[in-house]
Amino acid sequence: MKNILFLGLSLLALSCGDNLKPGGNNGDGGNGDGGTLTNPPALGTQIDRMGRPAINTALNATFFDAADPAKAKKDAYNAADTASGWAATEVAAGRTVVQEFAVNLAVLDIIDKNHPTVPNPDGCGNGALYMGPPSATSYAQLGTVLADDQLFVDSTKSSCGFYLSLEVEVATGGTVVHTQCGGRTLSHDVIDVSYSLLAAGTSGFDAANGFAPRVTDGVPVHADVDDATFPFLGAPH
């Protein structure tokens, strides 16, 4: 997952728009309960799901929840087993997945503030599909896109070098037309692409350099992978 959780800790006092939740103890923000399994799930119960990497980690119960509420929210997200109902799934009483995502998208939108390579790095309001002026729904449109947490692939394309290729086209209102198949390969730097899209929208990518993500976490992708040759991964290390 690289260092996305550490980034979250450094952003606790920052947010854009009106989506900031009231105070609270940050806790560990994870699913762990200290190693004690007090209520194991019944056999056959869905306990995890993942389409796009880091969505549940970065956008659900990330920055301001105590450990127990955060665990409950992430468990509720993982237990949702019908795609048509993902967006409306409640991760807490009266709070849907889209509403929860909107809160945390407001925090991530500030990442590019004063960024040296992002054009007009104002921080707030330039994330993908942001809807101003600042309000409780400013990030709802992108939250709805991301709530459909599955990877989309255009099988008519033979090249797959751009992670989230189809989603970026949707999230930029068609400004960046997809020419790649989408999906995810082992060599994609999924966190850098996600940071760039959520924090800076189209400004987060360098069009002259193959739409390379401008907002990065400073951690390169693994070099010992081969997307085309089994067993794809390098030797254990």
Instruction: Quick: pLDDT tens for 21-71.
Output: 444 444 444 444 556 667 777 888 899 998 999 999 999 998 788 888 999
Task: Give mean pLDDT, residues 70-94.
Answer: 95
Q: Is residue 228 part of a domain?
A: no
| pLDDT digit string, tens, across residues 96-127 | 999 999 999 999 999 999 999 999 898 999 99
Q: In this prediction, what percent of the chain has a pLDDT beyond 70?
A: 85
Domain-located, residue 221: no
Determine the structural domain holding residue 160 and report its residue range.
4-31+46-213
Question: Which carries the bigger pLDDT value, residue 40 or residue 225?
Answer: 225
pLDDT: is 170 or 31 the higher one?
170
pLDDT of residue 147: 96
| Residue 36 within any structural domain of the chain | no
- Examine residue 18 and state whether it is found in any structural domain, yes or no: yes
Q: In the predicted model, what is the mean pLDDT of residues 16-25?
A: 51
Specify the pLDDT at position 34. Answer: 54
User: Residue 62 domain-assigned?
Assistant: yes
For the chain, give the secondary structure using H, E and C.
CCCHHHHHHHCCCCCCCCCCCCCCCCCCCCCCCCCCCCCCCCCCCCCCCCCCCCHHHHHCCCCCCCHHHHHHHHHHHHHCCCHHHCCCCEEECCEEHHHHHHHHHHHHHHHHCCCCCCCCCCCCCCCCCCCCCCCCCCCHHHHHHHHCCCCCECCCCCCCCCCCHHHHHHHCCCCCCCCCCECCCCCCCHHHHHHHHHHHHHHHEEHHHCCEECCCCCCCCCCCECCCCCCCECCCC
Q: Would you say residue 227 lies in a domain? A: no
Is the full-model pTM beyond 0.85? no
Q: How confident is the model at residue 233 (pLDDT cuts 50, 70, 90)?
A: confident
- Residue 7 predicted with pLDDT over 70: no
Number of domains in the chain: 1
Q: Which of 194, 231, 182 is nearest to 104 (CA)?
A: 194
Query: What is the mean pLDDT of the segment spanning 81-108?
Result: 95
pLDDT at 17: 62
- Decide if 166 is inside a domain: yes
